[in-house]
Amino acid sequence: MEGPRKSASRLSHAVSRGRSTSQSSVRARHSATGMAASRARAKTRHKGTPSPILERPQVDVQYRTAIKNFETGVRAFQKQNYGKAAEIFEKLVENDARDIAERAHVHLRLCRQRTGRPAPLPKSADDYYTLGVACLNAREFGLAVEHLSKADKMKPHQDHIHYALAVSHALAGNPDAAFAHLEASFALRPENRIHARRDEDFQGLAADPRFRRLIYLAGS
């Protein structure tokens, strides 16, 4: 799903207007984009800082290792090996790279939900949004809609939340709800039409005349 701010293993639907970038699928692409940005931030942090000349390469190695561990955890999660996945994510939640730590925290919460262990409840609209995207990445569309709807209720009129809800409903086979959220997303941020035209997650809607009317609205 290419769209505003998709984030967590796949979304990237990515996370905030400032982080809104084009996202080609709310799933795995999000982490790659977010992690690349974090890598750039890590390099910038060390510029001009008196430190050994080998410090920056060491940071890059640590970051790449964290990414590999995160990907291993995601594979275990997708295979429903939640115990192993939780062990990996527990080690990553304290990682210095914030993007990895945030994604690990979301996946750890999902692991705990599946194993019956208590997990901290989301507190903010961003928490529910991130959790909704993680569920979307895991192809759990019902839960994705539930969490994203709570994010929308707590923080209404956010184009990226409506866009993620549109994707969730589209993939769940609910075209009427998908079109309603797409229309709301476009009204708040007309540029989202451009993303929707390229977004593979809307393939199931492509044959519906309403889709073409929405994304090719006169003047857009």
Token code pair at residue 3: 């769209």
Within a domain: residue 56?
Answer: no
Q: Give pLDDT, residue 166.
A: 97
Within a domain: residue 69?
Answer: no
Q: Give pLDDT, residue 1.
A: 56
Crossing angle between the packed helical segments 141-154 and 125-137, to the nearest 10 degrees: 160
Residues ≥6 apart with Cβ < 8 Å to 180: none
CB 46 within 8 A of CB 115: no
Within a domain: residue 134?
Answer: yes
Q: How many CA atoms lie within 13 A of 23 on its CB side?
A: 34
Within a domain: residue 208?
Answer: yes
Convert the pLDDT of each residue in 9-66 to its tens digit: 333 333 333 333 333 344 333 343 344 444 444 443 444 444 444 445 556 888 899 9
Residue 157's CATH number: 1.25.40.10
Residues ≥6 apart with Cβ < 8 Å to 218: none
Q: How far apart are CA 89 and CA 7, in angstroms?
A: 17
| Burial per residue of 18-50, b for 16 or more beta-carbon CB atoms within 10 angstroms, e otherwise | ebbbbbbbbbbbbbebbbeebbeebeeeeeeee
Least trusted range by pLDDT, from 4-13, 27-36, 142-151, 164-173: 27-36
Helix (H, G, I), strand (E, B) or coil at 209: helix
Number of domains composing the chain: 1
* Helices of type H across 47-123: 55-78, 82-92, 98-115
Within a domain: residue 119?
Answer: yes
Per the structure, the complete domain to which residue 179 belongs is given by: 17-48+76-215
Q: Give pLDDT, residue 148.
A: 96
Within a domain: residue 31?
Answer: yes
CB 20 within 8 A of CB 44: no
Residues ≥6 apart with Cβ < 8 Å to 9: 27, 28, 30, 31, 74, 103, 107, 134, 137, 138
CB 99 within 8 A of CB 38: yes
Within a domain: residue 112?
Answer: yes
